[in-house]
Structure 1
Amino acid sequence: MDAIAGTTTKKSTSLETLVIQNISNVNDLKTKLNEIIRIGKEYEFDVSSCLKSLICNSDHEIVLLSVQAISELVKCEDKRVTYSQKEIIQPILNYLEKDLTSDNIGLIKQCCRALGNLCCDCDQARKIILDCDGVPVIVNLLKRTLDTEFGEIKMFTSKTLLNFCIGGQQFSEAIVQGNVVDVLKNILNLELEKDDMDDDMVSTALLILSVINDNTPEFLYDEAVNTAVLNILKDTTNIEISELCLDHLHAQAEHDSVKTLLANEGGVQTVCSRLEQFTQKHEAGDLNADDSEVETIMKQACDLVIIVLTGDEAMHILYKNGIGEVYLTMVKWLDSPNYNLLTTAVLAIGNFARQDDYCAQMMDDKIFDKLLDIFEIYHGFAVRMRKEPDVPHPIDSATVTKIQHAVLSALRNLTVPVANKRVAAAQGRAAPIFLSALPHIEDHHVAYKLLAAIRMLVDGQEGVAKQLASDSSALASVAKWGHAGEYAGAAGEAPRLLAWAVKQLRHHTHWRHIVEVDGCISSLVNMLVASHSLMQNEAILALTLLAIESLKRPSPDTEQPNFDYEKNFIAQLIKSEIGKHVSVLVDTNCAKMPVEVAENLLAFLDITSKKNKVAFDYKEAKVPESLKKFSDSRTDFSDDLKACIAGVILAINDNCKSG
């Protein structure tokens, strides 16, 4: 039955074609074409062979109706490939080259419609236009409509170019080479001069720019183009156009020159003002948009503010010695009940805190304290949400996590300068808040930032290091994250915090607490095989300091017998497979380990290899062989250093009794 049905359809199409070809009366032919136009995409016959003949007819109205019939027929997706023929597209392009007059405006309009519909999700049509060198024709037509009254043609031409370039990089590059960007800039500037912008025209122009950017992400528009888009954003009240402008500027702001442009030309102030307007109108119910649409545009705007602030020059312009409008807006938003504005403010402060003198000024202005308040509030939210999973909360967990992450990042940046570390330590508020929060953190992103914030506080501050060492719960949490290998950020930050704390505690008995808490030593041992020599060296130095204290002979006035710490320290080294880690460290860094790191490693091995259990572990893990290969392969090692390596190898071999 299916085969018979197919034959009947084919025969009907052939008959329909024959009927059209045999119409001799012009009026009857026009009637037939009007019938095809009226039925449009539902017309069931393939009459492409007739229409490609009729679009070259000498009768102007026949040509017009034929092109209009094509534009209606190819609204049907299945018909586009059928009508995507050079014999159809080339004549249409030829008509588009004609002068714009009142006599042919209807034909040019239908030609634009036909090309636009043919290009919709149809690469075959797009490629034929390329082959026919049609892009310059279409772009030139668009250019010719700028200063004329033919606005409808301008719209159809723009939408044709949009449908064409959506096809991919090959097609968007073709219209860029055809100088379409300059034409689109002129369209936007002309619309800005009007009392009432044509939103459809502006949207189409912005969409073409967006497609070009999507297909070639590294593409940088001329400053005049980006300025025109910014001016549209400043002028429009339309949410969809605002969204398109923000999308364009966000993509372009990957380039530092655009970040600077937006900072200099009031772009960030505009975005901040728009954000506040959206927030107020949305809360008052005066915004003609659903919640998801408002959320999308607010997120875009917030993201744009932050990406601009990642530019060094832009950040300085917007800070303006602490009196910049954008900086002051961010400080104000730290008190905002709106989560988007609050998160943006916190992230912005974190970016302003890349400059030491700005950090000092913000510390004086109590920004650090304000951030601590925010962290306490949102950490409290997180704890309650975990304890009461079935109770409705005014905020979702993802937002709570995002704000904690952002505020900890800003707090960490503010305590990078030495002077600010001293101020934060002296105030005495930050360390207790961080240490009490640490055991309750479950999200690894938040843990990473919290560990980093504590490490900045510990740096050079013995008092903070003592607080950490005295808090067994906090130390246990550090050790836990140090073994969370699936979370590289937190797992890398935890042993660094321990290493920095040990450095501060080398003259105090608080180092004992780090030896006492299970997992701390193994975290440091794991850091021996970190990918960066800086972290390797930190681990070596920390383990060396702990070894010196744990393994030294007890003095008569020692309050507690030191051999307990020796026994504990050695047991933890063995449990952590110290030998295997040393072998891996040496073998994988044989040629590239800096001399000073090698010297520090040998100091650690010299101390620990005197203990027979550790020496036995080194022997089992083939550390002597690794060290021999290490010494033989390095021409930059001094004779003294090579002698030291030989001495360590000898000590391991002499002390590796299993008892």
Structure 2
Amino acid sequence: MTMDMGPLLESLRSAAGPQDKDRALDALLTVFTDPENEEKTDDLSVDVTGQGLFDDLLALGRDEAHITKVAQLLAEVAKTESVREPCVEKGFVPLLLRLLEKQEDINSMTQACRALGNVCFDNDLGRGIVQDNNGIEILLSLMRTLLSNTEDGSDRLRTIACGFLLNLTNTNESLQQKAIEGGALEVINKYLVQYQTADGLCNMILVTISSITDSEQCKSRLLESGLLTTLVDFLRTPMGDENCESILDILIAVAEWDEVKDALAQTELCPHLISLAQTNVQQNADYSEENQQKIKLSSDLLILLLTGERSMEVLFDDGKGEIFGASLKWLDSEQDHLQISGALAVGNFARSDEHCRFLVEQGVVGRLLVLLKPVYGEPKPTLEHAALSALRNLAIPGSNKASLIKEGVIDAVLVLVESEMLAVVFKIIGVLRMLVDGQEEAALKLGQDREFVTRLVEWSACEEHPGVKGEATRLLAWLVKNSRTEEVMRNIIRSDGIPHLVGMIMSEHIVMQNEALVALNFMVTTVLADVALPLKEAELAETLTTLLLDKHTLPEIKCNTLTLTKTILTAENLREDIVSPSMCDAVRGLVDHSEDKVRQAALAVIPLMEDSSEGER
């Protein structure tokens, strides 16, 4: 049951002298600060403000003798969300800001900061009024002054001032920008440098940093402020270790920017992250939840740093980098997240041919293949995805393909083709596509496997994952191009792969259009009797006509389309289906094309097209 606050308010209103007013304010504060009333605070706040408390406090607030207690009472009342806007509307914000601007008394500034911080919590109206009254400038000026203040209570005020900055700017990009422009990052940086043993203040600083750096505008100032280096240095202190997860969360968030990745790669962060991950593995064989989180965040941040081009090169350091050595060891770890991180690291290092060759020479392929083997029959999709990503990158250089094939990558990957995780399937197809490029034997091995080709055609129809669909169809085309073998082509035809290759001609990607045209050209030339009917049923003629008529089709694609058209016109089984009025018009229209190579290709087709027409008559 909520107590009746009427008598206390009446005592405040009837108080004659300063002492009586102080006692009345103290009585109200006692109610709001009594731990037994903690659960009733919202009801009490609504009650007293409904009975006109704000009018009473506004009158008292004009008297310097009572302003501190008025601010304290406002701080307590403003903990309740519903009274914050009325508090702002009554005009308390300028009054409280003047207290901060004077910087006369630690206690009055503390209570004013508390009140303003509470008023601005999730309250854009309050934030706007603070901004209109130069509140950010006033607050940052106070925080700068407090850097060297050693008075009693200054420690608490520093923490509360940081809390006010947090509540003022949180999720508000405009105010975050104003604070950053006003030097908030530089001030916070100095606080963290100077007060690294102040537990409460450090916690508040980290929460404030996490909030204020959630802004695109902060990137350049973040680098200029020195805050990144300070955070890295702080992480390596005992207090930093206690706040490890908070610091790592901040660094992960800001490391989304490449400039920040590059800057962090130049610090002592990476060796410390390696140490954090390895120490927490060694400390607890059961991997407690806290240890697991430290391992995860440390390795996640390391991998994020490797996604930047410059930062990756710095950390690779010609194969001598500490993180490079650690990532190879993690592949052999028994800890899932370290295995995943090791594979992701290898995948990121394998972004140049030189690195890829070096990695293969280091024996990384066999260690990745071990990760693909199910443990106790249980698949690990995240680990599979990471290992396959690395293998795909390693398979890109021509000089590596034979080595990977020799080490059994194709067989190891084929074991996973029944996976129902489309993200894993996407990587499976990607690895295999890289391995058949220019490798006739590999293309034959896959193309002669009817079961695999059937599965590949199924993936080519995968509408729920465009990446899988695109990769699968491209691999069909690559099997044709790299094997150039009748058996492989017939397996694709028998598995109903032709409609997907024809559909690929209309892809929005030029490379895929060309690959489809080249593959179909090989098939028409090699297995015409088998492919003729499927091509008719897949409406190849209509597709080619559409491409030739489309003004946006690139000259290269038009030329390859005309080449396929020419090949088909020499094949009796298809000629009559290709020659149509629309096709004739499309080809003749290209005789005046602006590109000479298109004109020449069209001129080469027209005689065959006219011969077909005469044959029909």
Q: Same fold (TM over 0.5)?
A: yes
Amino acid at match of 2:75: S
Cα drift, residue 580 of structure 1: 3.1
- Given the alignment of the two structures, is residue 416 of structure 1 paired with residue 396 of structure 2, yes or no? yes
Q: For 1:66-81, list aligned pairs within 5 A.
A: 66-81=70-85
Tell me, in whole angstroms, the C-alpha distance in 2 between the residues paired with 1:586 and 1:443: 39
Amino acid at match of 1:89: V
Tell me, in whole angstroms, the C-alpha distance in 1 between the residues paired with 2:402 and 2:514: 26
User: How big is each residue's C-alpha offset from its partner over 1:282-312, in whole Å with a ceiling of 9 and x where there is no partner?
Assistant: 5457x6xxx3x65555443332111110112
CA contact 2:477–2:515 (8 Å) conserved in 1 = yes
RMSD: 2.7
Q: 1:228 to 1:369 in 2, by over 3 A?
A: same
User: How big is each residue's C-alpha offset from its partner over 1:254-300, in whole Å with a ceiling of 9 and x where there is no partner?
Assistant: 22232122222121221222122333445457x6xxx3x65555443
Gaps of 5+ in 1: 1-8, 383-399, 552-565
- Given the alignment of the two structures, is residue 111 of structure 1 paired with residue 112 of structure 2, yes or no? yes
2:231 to 229, 233, 238: 229
Give 1:53's aligned residue: 59
Q: 1:142 to 1:600 in 2, by over 3 A?
A: same
Deviates more, 1:264-273 or 1:294-303: 294-303
- Given the alignment of the two structures, is residue 644 of structure 1 paired with residue 615 of structure 2, yes or no? no
Tell me, in whole angstroms, the C-alpha distance in 1 between the residues paired with 2:489 and 2:475: 16
Q: For 1:60-209, list aligned pairs within 5 A.
A: 62-85=66-89, 87-100=91-104, 104-149=105-150, 150-192=154-196, 197-209=197-209
CA contact 1:444–1:487 (8 Å) conserved in 2 = yes
1:261 to 257, 260, 263: 263
User: How big is each residue's C-alpha offset from its partner over 1:23-71, in whole Å with a ceiling of 9 and x where there is no partner?
Assistant: 2133221121112112224252221111112112142xx2222221111
CA contact 1:480–1:519 (8 Å) conserved in 2 = no
Cα drift, residue 458 of structure 1: 0.8
Q: For 1:555-566, list aligned pairs within 5 A.
A: 566=529
Cα drift, residue 583 of structure 1: 3.1
Q: For 1:304-343, list aligned pairs within 5 A.
A: 304-343=301-340
Structure 2 residue matching 1:350: 3-state secondary structure: helix
Amino acid at match of 2:57: L
Tell me, in whole angstroms, the C-alpha distance in 2 between the residues paired with 1:161 and 1:273: 34
Q: 1:498 to 1:90 in 2, by over 3 A?
A: same
Tell me, in whole angstroms, the C-alpha distance in 2 between the residues paired with 1:486 and 1:274: 40
Cα drift, residue 571 of structure 1: 1.9
- Given the alignment of the two structures, is residue 346 of structure 1 paired with residue 326 of structure 2, yes or no? no
CA contact 1:499–1:539 (8 Å) conserved in 2 = yes
Tell me, in whole angstroms, the C-alpha distance in 1 between the residues paired with 2:374 and 2:591: 55
CA contact 1:435–1:468 (8 Å) conserved in 2 = no
Give 1:573's aligned residue: 535
Tell me, in whole angstroms, the C-alpha distance in 2 between the residues paired with 1:543 and 1:175: 62
Aligned positions, number? 595
Tell me, in whole angstroms, the C-alpha distance in 1 between the residues paired with 2:614 and 2:204: 81
Q: 1:446 to 1:126 in 2, by over 3 A?
A: same
Give 2:29's aligned residue: 37
Tell me, in whole angstroms, the C-alpha distance in 2 between the residues paired with 1:361 and 1:319: 11
User: How big is each residue's C-alpha offset from its partner over 1:80-139, in whole Å with a ceiling of 9 and x where there is no partner?
Assistant: 122114632222211212345xxx222121111111111112222211111111211111
Tell me, in whole angstroms, the C-alpha distance in 2 between the residues paired with 1:58 and 1:471: 89
Cα drift, residue 334 of structure 1: 0.3
User: How big is each residue's C-alpha offset from its partner over 1:574-594, in whole Å with a ceiling of 9 and x where there is no partner?
Assistant: 232212322343344x33413
Structure 1 residue matching 2:369: 3-state secondary structure: helix
1:585 to 531, 547, 552: 547
Give 2:499's aligned residue: 522
Q: 1:380 to 1:475 in 2, by over 3 A?
A: farther
Tell me, in whole angstroms, the C-alpha distance in 2 between the residues paired with 1:628 and 1:297: 68
Structure 1 residue matching 2:344: 3-state secondary structure: helix
- Given the alignment of the two structures, is residue 475 of structure 1 paired with residue 453 of structure 2, yes or no? yes
Tell me, in whole angstroms, the C-alpha distance in 1 between the residues paired with 2:574 and 2:375: 46
Give 2:36's aligned residue: none
TM-score by length of 1: 0.84
Give 1:497's aligned residue: 475
Tell me, in whole angstroms, the C-alpha distance in 1 between the residues paired with 2:198 and 2:607: 84
Tell me, in whole angstroms, the C-alpha distance in 2 between the residues paired with 1:267 and 1:433: 36
TM-score by length of 2: 0.89
Q: For 1:4-15, list aligned pairs within 5 A.
A: none
Cα drift, residue 16 of structure 1: 7.5
2:245 to 243, 246, 250: 243
Cα drift, residue 375 of structure 1: 1.5
Q: 1:405 to 1:140 in 2, by over 3 A?
A: same
Cα drift, residue 169 of structure 1: 1.0
Gaps of 5+ in 2: 33-40
Identity %: 26
Amino acid at match of 2:445: Q
